[in-house]
Structure 1
């Protein structure tokens, strides 16, 4: 079986972030970005901005362009070092879509139709507004992974089915044409607990939140985020306990503080014994501000110096394309395509 790490002592990992909002939020950071930073020590890491995927949501050209740069700036601002990792924008590597077509021709219609996210999103959109890009999204995701011969892919539960499709396609190609692709495994990210909406703590923190006051954006002014924490929905009573069923608001604040500080929730409950909800809100707001402010500052610095940001991304694209082209050429040679 091919091994991506033949030229390096480290296995290779890959993950992409979609630029679907003007700013990434606290859930994105705790659930993925912060953990990517630690992966740089263990892996030869490729981290990208999946702007081809986000086009499925039909953003305006201006939105797509600005959000792509903002997402890249936040990835670097969070601690992904372009000198240690390959940081790139997906659309700058045309081999992604070249490999996608090859894989699409090997994917059964029934298998693609069974993808849970496609079924859920197409049911919400309706037949008239469901595009083919949404249907082939998992195949492009498979190409994103296989083109870099990734050994490990950080995934959440909502992406496990897509990774299984990726593994199936790699094994199918290898069986037909000989060992070509590394068959990737999931890299399980550490659980940070539930990061819920501040105004609707029974719902996951999301860019599609009903109210912007429930969302903590990495690029927002710290004072604005502090205000959101102070107005966060809590629960009846006054005791600070962890009980998501009966006290989702307080439990959410405890989860966030635990994820930021590394202090176990039971210990936090002890520390806040006898204190009021207001004390907890202030503590969470301060901890988040201390963690996020340097990320925001670095990201805004890069966004103010577009030439430097684009230089870093161009350099990353050059490195990424070297690997992507080698994989695509190997695939084309085996299937009889000219390149």
Structure 2
């Protein structure tokens, strides 16, 4: 095992703990990383802090009840990922409407008529219904009732239209921000200053708790 592979989870934990979050939004498959992060914080607090004055804040994972793990359009058993070499496997937030429609039209399905959630024999069906539920803002029960008797020829255009409509305001805002470079740079500068202040404070607390001496002339 390489040092990089061994140390990377600890580096991920440090990136979280450094900024003292209360909640960390993650997908279902990332929950284990938050559990490790919590274990590290709890252990450090136990050894070097106290219940009244913990050294590190112990964060909680924030995982959506529905849609915590969106699956690939080409394989309902694999997670949708930007690192997947197959572009047809995912919907990019910046995809134009015609691309979104094309990807959904070609999404993998099954020959069974009638759509249903939570059938382990129909992972693609569950995935596409979940996408429709999330993008339309409807409840799971409402989607199940609406789509129960549908075939794919009827459902896919509905999903594509819903996806295009749901992403339109996001894409509009995205393009507006890209055109306003001054605003973007100001946000980045302010965010960097805010993050640095929190990080420096956390680092100073950890160093003090562990007994690291500060260099002469240090302001930390």
Relative to the length of structure 1, the TM-score reads 0.55
Residue of 68, 89, 103 corresponding to 1:214: 89
Q: Does 1:168 align with 2:52?
A: no
Deviations 1:154-200 (A, max 9, x none): 33443333323322332333333333222223334332265222222
Aligned residue number for residue 212 of structure 2: 336
Q: Does 1:262 align with 2:162?
A: no
Note the C-alpha offset of 1:218: 0.5
User: 1:135-284 residue pairs with structure 2 within 5 A?
Assistant: 135-178=6-49, 179-192=54-67, 195-209=70-84, 211-242=86-117, 244-284=119-159
Q: Which has the larger radius of gyration?
A: 2
CA distance in 2, matches of 1:274, 1:176: 59
**Residues 233, 171 of structure 1: alpha-carbon distance in 2 compared, 3 angstrom cutoff:** closer
| Structure 1: tracts of 5 or more residues without a match | 1-126
Deviations 1:39-64 (A, max 9, x none): xxxxxxxxxxxxxxxxxxxxxxxxxx
Contact kept in structure 1, 2:27 and 2:68, CA below 8 Å: no
Aligned residue number for residue 100 of structure 1: none
Q: Secondary structure at the match of 1:213?
A: helix
Aligned residue number for residue 176 of structure 2: 301
Q: Secondary structure at the match of 1:234?
A: coil
**Residues 188, 253 of structure 1: alpha-carbon distance in 2 compared, 3 angstrom cutoff:** closer
Higher relative contact order (CA 8 A, sep 6+): 1
| Structure 2: tracts of 5 or more residues without a match | none
Structure 1 residue ranges (4+ consecutive) displaced by more than 6 angstroms after TM superposition:
none
CA distance in 2, matches of 1:308, 1:167: 36
**Residue-pair matches, total:** 210
CA distance in 1, matches of 2:163, 2:42: 43
